[in-house]
Amino acid sequence: MYSVVYNFFLWTGFLSGLPLSLLRPKIRHYFKNRLGATLNKKCPKLERKRPIWIQALSVGEVLSTLPLIRLLKNHNLPIFFTASTITGYTIACQKLKNMVKYISYFPLDLIPVINRYLYCIKPHLVILIETDIWPNFLHCIRKNNIPCLLINARISHKSYQRYQLIRPFFKKVINSFDFIGTQRVEDAERLRLLGADPSKLKVIGNMKFDFHIPQFSKEEKMALRRQLGIPLEKRVWVAGSTHRGEEEAIFGVLKHLLKTYPEICLIIAPRHPERFSEVEKLARRWNFNVKRRSQEEKIGPCEVIVLDTIGELATIYSIADFVFIGGSLAPVGGHNPIEAAAWGRPIAFGPHMFNFSEIKELMLENGAAIPVSDKDDLIEVMEDWIKFPEKAKAIGDKALGLLKAHQGATDRYFDLIKAYL
């Protein structure tokens, strides 16, 4: 019954969205790729040896797979990599082009489309990252007797409550996996309560802690500052992965700080590329001197730089004096603070970090980040860090130390995956 209802709404949504895709080229290109438009060109290259299919939802999940893919390459098995979002696919093309056999979009959860992918790819093993639980996809994988693993799995309290409403359906879907490795004990317990077979569940840890700790020389950092037109006397505040509603608060904080500390320069990175122009216009309405990262010839001394490139935020954190994690003042669930922690930067985030609750709690327990409730809290924290840079440095040092102490999940996942190779 649940399957019938699910597929009815799925097909209804797909068919009703077709007219919009015909009118908007970007959406048309996206749907075309998720229907497998480019598969035929690559099939002959994949037929010689059955690949491992790895699926990651978006940017954070794609980046978390890098250490695992390096380990899998040693087994000389081709890797077919997919991502669901445009930004995830773009980052995969940038970071993985020399590491995997082929990069594509993940198919829509429509059985004919999935079967076409499986016919073309013929995977030896399928690995899904974190929260990618697609009923029709898993049904087709199981029908074709292909081992399928869910690794780095997490399930938020909000998702848990939603899945409880369809527990009989979810139980059938989740048990399609051969193995489920979770980030935390809470994730494993929630999945067990939703019907997952306990023999398939194991707490392994969070691969996102295995983020490569970068080595960036002082000269390279200076070169980046010069490229951005940021003088040495400027202190850089990076607001990463911001969402609508947060930029107003951030610009309000900046306006307040500049009255006393004119040396502050804000680099703001909107989470979604389609909002780059919107955020630039908003900054201009606040009467800031604004530049965009992509317009290098126009980059000069300014108060706000809009980071309108994809995949560069992790590098930009290297020149930050202070960091704010977006998606946390707006009720979005936050974003991964580990990229900033890897540079040893002082981090602040808002009250809505529920998608990264384990990392948030660890950071707060160890004094490796500062929580803020609103704009006024953020002003207070920023002023404290500016006045007492040793405090900011101590928080950044703790963040880096915490990251190093919790690494190793990728190796544990790899040891388990080897049994299926």
Residues involved in catalysis: 61
Give 128's strand partners.
55, 150
Q: Exposed, middle or buried: residue 312 (CB in 10 Å: 0-12, 13-18, 19+)?
A: middle
Cα atoms in the 13 Å half-sphere on the side-chain side of 205: 16
CA angle 115, 102, 64 (to 5 degrees): 100
Task: Quickly count: other Cβ atoms within 10 Å of residue 292's Cβ.
Answer: 18
Our CA dihedral for 379, 382, 386, 391, rounded to 10 degrees, sits at 130
Distances (CA, A) of 316 to 24, 91, 238: 32, 16, 8
Instruction: Return d(Cα 166, Cα 171) in angstroms, integer.
Output: 9
Distances (CA, A) of 64 to 55, 68, 134, 158, 376: 12, 8, 20, 23, 33
Instruction: Return d(Cα 334, Cα 135) in angstroms, integer.
Output: 27
Instruction: Return d(Cα 179, Cα 201) in angstroms, integer.
Output: 6
b/e map 249-277, b = 16+ CB within 10 Å:
bbbebbebbeeeeeebbbbbbbbeeebbe
Q: What DSSP string describes 62-86? A: HHHTHHHHHHHHTTT--EEEEESSH
First CA to last CA distance, the chain: 36
Instruction: Return d(Cα 143, Cα 21) in angstroms, integer.
Output: 31
Distances (CA, A) of 183 to 191, 208, 278: 12, 10, 36
Amino acid residing at 167: R
User: By the 8 A CB rule, do 132 and 84 touch?
Assistant: yes
